[in-house]
Chain A
Amino acid sequence: MYILKIYINIFDIYRNNIYICTMIRKDLLKGTLKPIILKLLSENDRMYGYEITLRVKELSAEKIQLSYGGLYPILHKLEANGEVLTETEIIDNRVRKYYYLTKKGKRTADKHIKELEEFVNTIRMILKPGTTHSICPV
């Protein structure tokens, strides 16, 4: 038992449930979550966590459902990097934390969205040769 615990602690073996998605394999989504979150924040003055998951769910026709585990680590990282700022409000006896982009965050958002669009186009070129210029909405 102790040997197992040591093994888990050394190699950081945690249960792998980063985000839930109903239709799209999570390894395909890997790397796209940050641009998705940045894109939504760039289109809104401010958003809170639940609002972001709801919006992703709506825009993806319920094919992508962000869980807490997918969303909050990224939001906290963006905050630590100075790409978003937060403000809190007490709503219905609970603390609600709103996120909004800083100038640095807006630049990062533009860069990431552009990169993602290029990536999607490249994949499309491979999968469907001849349809090179359409831009996939994120």
Chain B
Amino acid sequence: MSCLTEENIQFILEDIERRGLNYKGLKEEVLDHICIDVEAGILEGLSFEQAYKKISGEFGEYGLQEIQENTIFILNYKFILMKRALYILLIFAVYAILHRTNHLQGAGWLIALSLTFVSVLLIIFSHGLYKDKRRPVWNRFLALYGYTTSFLIITGHIIWWKFYQYSKIGMILTIISITAYGTLCLIYYLSNIKVSENKSEKKKNKILSVISAINLLLVVFDIIWLFTGHPNNIFVIIIAGFNLFIALPILLITGYFKEILITSLVIFYFIVYFRALPGYITDKINFSQEYQVTLYVKQEKPKINTPPYIIVRWQQFKNEGNKIELNKEQDGLWIKTLRIEGKKNIHYFISQDKRDYRVLLEENDINWNVMKLNSDTTIYLSY
């Protein structure tokens, strides 16, 4: 017969919960273990309070939380390995972006590799969900959704950036994959709020739902903004900035970084939106020494009113270029102010064709002009 009252047991239960032990299966047996230890203390002549104080001193204020973390780690080591993979992804992404902003070759491939990493993580996560038997129907639905999204990320990106003639389809697929990923995150964390085992888990799922919802909302606004013909620089900056400066620090500080789905979403959105306007980004951000030059495009006998574009590529960056819209100053004169790093030769040609410049490159035999952009430069149009 136990010498502990129901109140004593309830007291111990509440105290171990306060110390951070909330994992149900573990909590019950640790409670039993502590109760037996306390009973042994009482049989030795200690009061309940003295016995419990002695036992609780052995595991300390954070000891039980640590046991819970160790148990969860051992049970979920695959997910922990995925977390390590996330670090690699983050390193890839940062390196790719540094590469991109410094106009180095291979940045595109690094970004593609990062997105492949995102897709692989999503596939592994979805597979884990598929095998999870706690909510079989719901989890399988989410898993299938996850598989489809990862497929869209890969195909969309490849088509957009490598099959130029279908770049619009690629862009649409990428937009769908971005929206699908955001939606998946939102419904996953929202549905987890209901089945949270304790307050801290509920809080975590709420915060992650909010991050997902903000991202999804911004993306929807961006898409609407884009399809109504507005330049989408504003939302690109907001989404990339939100994920880099708000969402990622929150995940790191709270430790929710271990949640694969939300972390890969944040990194994914950041990469895609950073990549979305490389011309804009490379115009505006440079880590190396830069200076500003103004480019004048002049037509001696003004005939055209539609704005011409200048397609610019760096000499050491031959496979990728930037299509820059020129601003009309007056009839026959367009100007554009650029930020240029170093004194480099650039290759350029002027076009009025609105299509993707890579399509133009494939369709036409274009003669690239070369100029050194050291100071304000004037280009004369022959037509």
Contacts and interface: CB of A to CB of B under 8 A. Distances in A.
Contacts of B252: 5-6, 9-10
Contacts of B73: 12, 73
A133 B66 CA distance: 41
A94 B31 contact: yes
A67 interface: yes
Contacts of B4: 92-93
Given A5-B253, A72-B67, A73-B70, A94 B75 contact: no
B25 A93 contact: no
Interface string A1-41: 01001101110101101101000000000000000000000
Interface in B24-59: 25-26, 28-33, 35-37, 58-59
Interface stretch (A74-82, A101-109, A115-123): A74-82
A92 B39 CA distance: 11
Given A2-B253, A6-B253, A94-B9, A72 B26 contact: yes
B166 interface: no
B128 to A, nearest CB: 13
B26 A17 contact: no
B71 interface: yes
B58 A67 contact: yes
Interface string A77-102: 10010000000100111111100000
B58 A72 contact: no
Given A15-B66, A77-B74, A93 B257 contact: no
B308 interface: no
Given A9-B253, A17-B66, A50-B32, A92 B2 contact: yes
A49 B33 contact: yes
A76 B32 contact: no
Nearest to B67: A69
B108 interface: no
B35 A69 contact: no
Contacts of B33: 49-50, 53, 68
Given A18-B70, A20-B58, A73-B67, A93 B2 contact: yes
A68 B67 contact: yes
B64 interface: yes
Interface residues of B, number: 39
B6 interface: yes
B250 to A, nearest CB: 10
A95 B26 CA distance: 11
Contacts of B87: 10
Interface string B262-292: 0000000000000000000000000000000
Contacts of B25: 76, 97
B62 interface: yes
Binding site secondary structure of chain B: helix
Contacts of B229: none
Nearest to B6: A93
B6 A76 contact: no
Contact of A73 (B74, B80, B253): B74
Nearest to A52: B33
Contacts of A50: 32-33, 36-37
Given A9-B252, A67-B59, A92-B4, A72 B32 contact: no
Contact of A72 (B29, B37, B80): B29
A51 to B, nearest CB: 9
A9 B255 contact: yes
Residue among B32, B35, B75 with most chain A CB within 10 A: B32
A48 B9 contact: no
A69 B59 CA distance: 9
Given A15-B66, A20-B58, A92 B74 contact: no
A135 B115 CA distance: 55
Nearest to A8: B255
A9 B70 contact: no
A9 B258 CA distance: 8
Contacts of A15: 62-63, 66
Nearest to B90: A10
5 contacts: A15-B66, A76-B75, A77-B74, A93-B2, A94-B32
Interface of A: 2, 5-6, 8-10, 12, 14-15, 17-18, 20, 48-50, 53, 67-69, 72-74, 76-77, 80, 88, 91-97
Nearest 5 A/B pairs, CB to CB? A92-B2, A9-B255, A73-B71, A95-B28, A6-B252
